[in-house]
Amino acid sequence: MAGLEGVEHMRQRGSATAARWMPVSEGEQTLEVIELFGDPTEEEVRLPSRPESAATARRLTQCVVLRQWALSAQTAEHAVLLVSELVGNAVRHTGARVFGLRMLRRRGWIRIEVRDPSRGLPCLMPVQELDTSGRGLFLVDKLSDRWGVDLLPRGKTTWFEMRVSERLSS
């Protein structure tokens, strides 16, 4: 059950239906996003808790997953969608002024974390086909291999992990 410290959720990847994500252009906007906001693979990137920060988090995720880590377009698509959901929850439900974004990679896995100062725990709700809200954690649960919440002395980190194939150099 979500919300217990140290508890993680493991799922087989399902066939969740979601809006199709299209990568942003290969232009300077994508290349400069890390220069503008920081590299979430090196340290936590702090962003203002505003709806428009979700677009920044998506661009950072796309840049890291596709360019730095050279992972598949499908992995990037899923990671971008899921980071958008976690950021949306942090912006809508925590009352925070800022949130943090961090991305980690180890052999065979990626992990993306969103930290906020609220200790309010997210809740995975049952979702019906025609529901127009409340799908965020449902998507995280379906598209990630593991997810969870770590309580901190001041706030929490909500995270997801995905298995990835290591690309062979040619």
1-43 pLDDT, tens digit per residue, is 333 344 444 444 443 333 344 444 544 555 688 999 999 999 9
Mapped onto helix, strand or coil, the DSSP state of residue 149 is strand
In a domain, residue 20? The reply is no
In a domain, residue 114? The reply is yes
Residue 29 pLDDT? 57
Supply the DSSP symbol for 113. E
In a domain, residue 35? The reply is yes
In one-letter notation, the amino acid at residue 93 is H
Which residue range is the domain that position 52 belongs to? 8-15+28-163
Give me the CATH number covering residue 128.
3.30.565.10
Q: For residue 145, how many other CB atoms are within 10 A of its CB?
A: 17
In a domain, residue 170? The reply is no
pLDDT in tens, 92-129: 888 889 999 999 999 999 999 999 999 988 877 777 66
In a domain, residue 82? The reply is yes
pTM of the predicted structure, to 2 decimals: 0.78
In a domain, residue 23? The reply is no
- Which of 48, 70, 30, 57 lies closest to 112 in space, CA to CA? 57
Decide: 21 and 73 in contact? Cβ < 8 Å: no
Decide: 129 and 80 in contact? Cβ < 8 Å: no
Report the domain count for the chain: 1
Residue 46 pLDDT? 97
Weakest mean pLDDT among 7-11, 27-31, 63-67, 162-166: 7-11
In a domain, residue 88? The reply is yes
The rounded distance, in Å, linking the Cα atoms of 37 and 26 is: 18
For residue 78, give Cα distances in angstroms to 18, 24, 39, 58: 10, 15, 20, 11
In a domain, residue 83? The reply is yes
Q: Name residue 101's beta-bridge partners.
A: 45, 114
